[in-house]
């Protein structure tokens, strides 16, 4: 995934962090005549918080417009139709319902509705018991009433990040993985950045979009002192055969700290329930617990009765990078020249990301960077072929052109060899990178059948020895020794 920095390259803008914020900023800056680099410490993009979330495009009614996150949420939401068309990632505006089960909860729903109207959430409506059941027949019959926000939707977060990166790369942004920024110094108005393995580059402007580590990166640049507090969320993914799959994203009435436990129809046809919201000490704590699973199931089953624990195929967790005050901090640094802080990007960071890209571009202009639009750019990503959605006739045609479309590697999700080869050719050379790009290993058997075959394909296409192929980068080795060498 990475280019190598042969000598000390020089950029106009360096973005630190290849999650959804950094990727959206890179895609935005790709439209301008600038030399831009995106640096990511992991083996692939989106491997931070951006891979472990609920995948919801929020509809702009949860927060008051006085918060920056709320303004960017609604702006970001409205950008998703054209982005999806332009960048080719799965997105469905299925709508969101908030279900109230008591009259007291209905009072809060009324407040959310008024907030949504004020924020400009398109088509938001207050609903009776009957209307709620009509909008979402899977809801428990005890629902008193609720709210419907048709602008809400779902995406696959990692594919969205990959498509932003692809767009940025097609339009000249240079991207580097396994580049962990460790030191920085400033001489004659230029930043000199060094990675942990001593690669170096220079830049006029720096954007700190380092998610959970934005506080560390700020320290490296002598920027503002702040502490990112990780707030962990556990999620449970159910089999696609689950009877619980709803039409719309179902929210409970929120608490002051969290939007609550949701039942989510993923854009790929599976059901997800979660997340929890718990402050933790370790930024990289990605554990899940039996106790939280039990709690999530009780809460989700209160809203949708068809939920069964037997349907769980996997669990994961991610931590929201929060700041005291619970808002985003996106600003020109007040302490350090030519540094823009993009910190505290907790939920709704995914939804807000396209608007974050615009906002940061404007901050760069205010900082004095001359931005001239390129005369021509490549406006759309290439459409990807997905065997699981192909008609019989289309499949026949594909196999005729390339027999690898007929070799199914992931049987649960129906992913062909050709799709895995394409992922590898696009630079996804870890098992998780291929999984996030193709869905191989995301089904019922969780890679039990296909992981070995995917490793073989990565080896064939890249020449990386199988012992060096990892799940998600250094340290996550998959194969210790080859059997035939024992
Ligand atoms: C459980 C959960 C559910 C959520 N659900 C939703 C939702 O449904 N909808 C929604 O809108 N939002 C949701 N969010 C929020 C959303 O996921 C985040 O706001 C968003 O992913 C943050 O993206 P980011 O790019 O700022 O951070 P990240 O994705 O963490 O990216 C930061 C990147 O910086 C890299 N990095 C760190 N330090 C360095 C360094 N020194 N050098 C180089 N690179 C570095 C990291 O490796 C990382 O990849 C959820 C979050 C969680 C945890």
If we measure between CA atoms, which residue out of 479, 476, 470 comes closest to residue 1? 470
Strand 262-265 with 145-149, pairing: unpaired
Estimate to the nearest angstrom the gap between the alpha carbon of 438 and the chain centroid.
15
Calculate mean pLDDT across residues 471-478.
91
**Ligand 1 nearest-atom number relative to CA 352:** 11
pLDDT at residue 305, rounded to an integer: 85
The residue contributing the CA closest to ligand 1 atom 21 is 50
- Residue span(s) of the chain under CATH 3.50.50.60 come to 10-90+152-228+323-383
CATH architecture of the region 387-474: Orthogonal Bundle (1.10)
In terms of Cβ atoms closer than 10 Å to its own Cβ (0-12, 13-18, 19+), residue 207 is: buried
CB of 209 within 6 A of ligand 1: the answer is: yes
User: pLDDT class for 484, splitting at 50, 70, 90?
Assistant: low
96-105, 141-150, 326-335, 466-475, range with the lowest pLDDT: 466-475
Would the pLDDT of 1 be above 60?
no
If we measure between CA atoms, which residue out of 61, 90, 221 comes closest to residue 149? 61
User: pLDDT class for 351, splitting at 50, 70, 90?
Assistant: very high
The 8-class DSSP code of residue 392 comes to: H
- Residue span(s) of the chain under CATH 1.10.10.1100 come to 387-474
pLDDT digits (tens, 9 = 90+) for 372-411: 999 999 988 888 899 999 999 999 999 999 999 999 999 9
pLDDT digits (tens, 9 = 90+) for 281-328: 999 999 999 999 999 999 999 999 889 888 999 999 999 999 999 999
Give the torsion through C-alpha atoms of 305, 309, 315, 321, to 10 deg: 40
- Residue span(s) of the chain under CATH 3.30.9.10 come to 91-151+230-280+287-317
Calculate mean pLDDT across residues 76-91.
96
Note if 58 is an active site residue.
Answer: yes
pLDDT at residue 480, rounded to an integer: 74
Would the pLDDT of 257 be above 80?
no
Strand 125-128 with 145-149, pairing: antiparallel
CB of 153 within 6 A of ligand 1: the answer is: no
The residue contributing the CA closest to ligand 1 atom 50 is 53
CB of 345 within 6 A of ligand 1: the answer is: yes
Residue 270 CA: distances (Å) to CA of 42, 296, 364: 27, 17, 40
CA of 98 to the centre of ligand 1 (A): 25
CB of 346 within 6 A of ligand 1: the answer is: yes
User: pLDDT class for 475, splitting at 50, 70, 90?
Assistant: confident
Provide the CATH number for the domain formed by 10-90+152-228+323-383 in this structure. Answer: 3.50.50.60
pLDDT digits (tens, 9 = 90+) for 30-63: 999 999 999 999 999 999 999 999 999 999 999 9
Cβ 116 vs Cβ 59: under 8 Å: yes
Torsion region of 47: left, alpha or beta (phi above 0 gives left; psi -120 to 50 gives alpha) = alpha
In terms of Cβ atoms closer than 10 Å to its own Cβ (0-12, 13-18, 19+), residue 141 is: exposed
Would the pLDDT of 5 be above 90?
no
pLDDT at residue 382, rounded to an integer: 87
* Angstrom distance (rounded) from CA 147 to CA 127: 5
Calculate mean pLDDT across residues 116-127.
97
Question: In percent, how much of the chain has pLDDT > 90?
Answer: 92
User: pLDDT class for 482, splitting at 50, 70, 90?
Assistant: low
Question: Could you identify the residue written with the tokens 């920095």?
Answer: 5
pLDDT at residue 2, rounded to an integer: 47
CB atoms within 10 A of CB 157: 25
CATH architecture of the region 91-151+230-280+287-317: 2-Layer Sandwich (3.30)
Contacts of 265 (CB under 8 A, 6+ apart): 94, 154, 245, 246, 247, 248, 249, 271
The residue contributing the CA closest to ligand 1 atom 4 is 53
- The β-bridge partners of 108 are none
């Amino acid at each position: 995934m990475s280019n190598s920095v042969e000598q000390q390259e020089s950029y106009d803008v360096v973005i630190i962090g290849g999650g959804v914020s950094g990727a959206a900023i890179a895609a935005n800056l790709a439209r301008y005549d600038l030399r831009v680099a995106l640096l990511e410490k992991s083996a692939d993009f989106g491997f931070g918080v951006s891979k472990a979330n609920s995948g919801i495009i929020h509809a702009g009614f949860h927060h008051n417009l006085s918060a920056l996150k709320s303004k960017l949420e609604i702006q970001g939401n409205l950008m998703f139709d054209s982005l999806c068309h332009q960048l080719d990632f799965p997105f469905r505006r299925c709508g969101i319902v908030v279900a109230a089960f008591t009259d007291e909860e209905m009072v809060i729903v009324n407040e959310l509705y008024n907030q949504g109207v004020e924020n400009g959430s398109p088509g938001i409506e207050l609903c009776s018991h009957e209307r709620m059941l009509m909008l979402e027949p899977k809801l428990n019959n005890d629902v008193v009433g609720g709210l419907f926000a048709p602008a809400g939707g779902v995406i696959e977060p990692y594919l969205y990040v990959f498509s932003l990166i692809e767009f940025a790369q097609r339009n000249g942004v240079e991207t580097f993985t396994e580049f962990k920024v460790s030191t920085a110094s400033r001489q004659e108005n230029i930043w000199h950045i060094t990675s942990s393995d001593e690669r170096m580059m220079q830049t006029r402007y720096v954007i700190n979009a380092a998610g959970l580590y934005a506080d560390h990166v700020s320290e490296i640049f002598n920027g503002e002192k702040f502490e990112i507090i990780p707030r962990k969320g556990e999620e449970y993914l159910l089999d696609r055969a689950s009877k619980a799959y709803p039409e719309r994203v179902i929210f409970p009435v929120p608490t002051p700290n969290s939007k609550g436990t949701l039942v989510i129809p993923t854009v790929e046809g599976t059901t997800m329930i979660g997340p929890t919201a718990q402050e933790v000490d370790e930024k990289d704590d990605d554990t899940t617990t039996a106790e939280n699973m039990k709690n999530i199931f009780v809460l989700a089953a209160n809203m949708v009765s068809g939920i069964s624990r037997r349907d769980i195929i996997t669990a994961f967790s991610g931590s929201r990078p929060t700041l005291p005050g619970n808002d985003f901090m996106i600003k020109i640094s007040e302490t350090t020249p030519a540094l823009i802080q993009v910190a505290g990007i907790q939920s709704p960071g995914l939804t807000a990301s396209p608007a974050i890209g615009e906002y940061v571009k404007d901050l760069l202009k205010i900082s004095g960077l001359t931005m001239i639009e390129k005369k021509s750019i490549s406006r759309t990503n290439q459409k990807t072929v997905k065997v699981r959605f192909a008609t019989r006739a289309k499949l026949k045609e594909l196999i005729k052109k390339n027999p690898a479309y007929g070799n199914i590697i992931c049987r649960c999700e129906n992913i062909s060899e050709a799709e895995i080869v394409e992922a590898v050719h696009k630079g996804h050379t870890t098992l998780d990178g291929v999984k996030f790009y193709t869905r191989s290993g995301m089904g019922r058997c969780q890679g039990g059948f296909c992981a070995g075959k995917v490793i073989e394909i990565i080896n064939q296409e890249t020449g990386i020895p199988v012992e060096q192929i990892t799940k998600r980068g250094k340290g996550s080795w998959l194969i210790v020794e080859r059997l035939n060498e024992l």
